[in-house]
Amino acid sequence: MTTQETFSSAEGLGPRKVQGKPLARPDRSVGVQAFIPALIGGLGQTIGRALVNTKEMVLGTRPDPVLEAINDGINTISYPEQRRPYPERFRGVHRLTQREDGSPRCVACLCCSTACPAQCIYIEAGDYEGDKKHAGYEKYPKRFVIDELRCIFCGFCVEACPCDAIRMDTGIHPAPYDSRDQFIYEKDLLLSIPGRHGDHESANPRIEPGEPGFPGITRLQHH
């Protein structure tokens, strides 16, 4: 050992001697080794906490997780009974907004599926038929399918939409289903999901040319 050390230090290499204050050995007295005082202390804290929680639950005085987060210390959220509220611009599962008559605002332009980096949107376009208002020149999605399992929740589809027809303002994060086909959201399901304020129509009204409120001046008003 000594020879080795001498050899190493002669070369300027190898392990150097550790310099520092020696640590005190932990207390290994009988009282500590028996764990009994600590056990009692721990149980006491658990039972005390349970009592406090029960009292808060019964009286309904459980602190708000948001307000609690403002205070110092560790913030406890009793998930899933208590949930941290999502921020206003949280991108949740998609929904399709509706027009006043309940039809989808979507015009099947495929801008969202073009923008989608995960290629999770499938749209089949169709013609409005019969005496529908937009019959003849406007499209609607015959099928609108989003694979929520493939979606990466980037929000590009919402950005790309020229009609404010697809939104991610539901505040819902995708549920952990037990089979893959449950992640395939069809048009009817997407149309039925409300926004976080319970609305189905988009905040931006859709005003056709000629209707009151159409942007710009109409011929009659102008002349």
Partner 1 sequence: MPKFKLDDYEIEFSPGETVIQAAERAGRSIPHYCWHPGLSVAANCRMCLVEVMPPPGRPALSLDVLRFDEKKGDYVKAKKPKLQPACQLAASDGMEIKSDTSEHVIEARAAVQEFLLLNHPVDCPICDQAGECRLQDYWLDHSGRSKRMRDEIIHKPKAVDFGPTIVYDAERCIVCTRCVRFCEEVVGDPVLDKRERGNLGEIVLAPGRKLDHAYTLMTEYVCPVGALTAKDFRFKARVWFLKSVKSICVGCATGCNSYTDFDPRDQTVYRYRPRENAAVNRYWMCDEGMLDYQRIRERRILRARVQSDPGASATDALHKAAALLKGPGLAVLLSAEHSSEDNVSVLELGKALGAEQFFMTGRPNGEGDNILRNADKNPNRRGILNLLPTVSSLAALEKAVEAGQVTRVLALGSAVDGSADFLRKVPVVALSVHDGPIAQAARVTLPAASWAEAQGTFTNAAGLSQVSEKAVNPPGDAQPGWRWALHLAGALGVSLPFTKGSEVRARVQPRPSTAPSAQA
Instruction: Choose, by CB under 8 A, the member of 93, 96, 107, 157 that binds partner 1.
Output: 107
CB of 185 to partner 1, least distance (A): 20
Nearer to partner 1 by C-beta: 72 or 131? Answer: 131
Instruction: Determine, following the binding rule CB under 8 A, whether residue 78 of this chain makes contact with partner 1.
Output: no
Q: Are the C-beta atoms of residues 135 and 160 closer than 8 Å to each other?
A: no
Site string (152-191) toward partner 1, x via CB under 8 A = ----------xx----------------------------
Q: What is the 3-state secondary structure (H, E, C) of 141-208?
A: EEEEEEECCCCCCCCHHHHHCCCCCEECCCCCCCCCCCCHHHHEECHHHHHHCCCCCCCCECCCCCCC
DSSP letters of 78-99? -TTTS-PPPPTT---S-EE-B-
Nearer to partner 1 by C-beta: 83 or 142? Answer: 142
Instruction: Determine, following the binding rule CB under 8 A, whether residue 127 of this chain makes contact with partner 1.
Output: yes
Residue type, 4: Q
Tell me the backbone φ, ψ of residue 131, rounded to 5 degrees. Answer: -100, 20
Nearer to partner 1 by C-beta: 55 or 150? Answer: 150
Helix (H, G, I), strand (E, B) or coil at 129: coil
CB of 101 to partner 1, least distance (A): 18
Instruction: Determine, following the binding rule CB under 8 A, whether residue 114 of this chain makes contact with partner 1.
Output: yes
Instruction: Determine, following the binding rule CB under 8 A, whether residue 213 of this chain makes contact with partner 1.
Output: no
Count other Cβ atoms within 10 Å, centred on residue 155: 15
Instruction: Determine, following the binding rule CB under 8 A, whether residue 137 of this chain makes contact with partner 1.
Output: yes
Q: Could you list the residues that contact partner 1 (CB under 8 A)?
A: 107-111, 114, 125-127, 135-139, 162-163, 209-210, 214, 216-219, 222
